[in-house]
Amino acid sequence: MIFWVQMHRLLHEEDEGVELPTGYELDAAGTNLLLKRPSGFLIAAFGEGVSKDSIRHVAEADERYLRAIQRQEEFGSAADSETVLMFAAEVREARTEFLLMLEAVYRGEDVPPTDDGPLAS
């Protein structure tokens, strides 16, 4: 799924690098920035002027989503039914957070960081 984000360039923002979660990459394609997962999968394309912090927050939300999936796959099959439901709910919540973050960036809203830090692997 690729989301295209186009906003007016923010005059006060410098063209510095973005501190992304480990393994995530931000590639330039013309005037666009392509956000890729550690696997190389393209998850978002950002146009000029998108806040570097917003891009970082989107990557962090995606990282939380991937970690939730990893935990579900790793521990979910051997768990009791209540724990399986808990892992499924965690994946749904992380996916929803990621999609809401993308939608906020698409709409040009300021994207605040989430309260919870990166999940332990």
Q: How far is CA 29 from the centre of its chain?
A: 19
pLDDT at 116: 55
Each residue of 60-74: pLDDT tens digit?
Answer: 999 999 999 998 888
* pTM for the structure as a whole: 0.76
Mean pLDDT (the chain, rounded): 81
Q: How far is CA 100 from the centre of its chain?
A: 10
User: In the numeric block, which tokens belong to residue 93?
Assistant: 């919540």
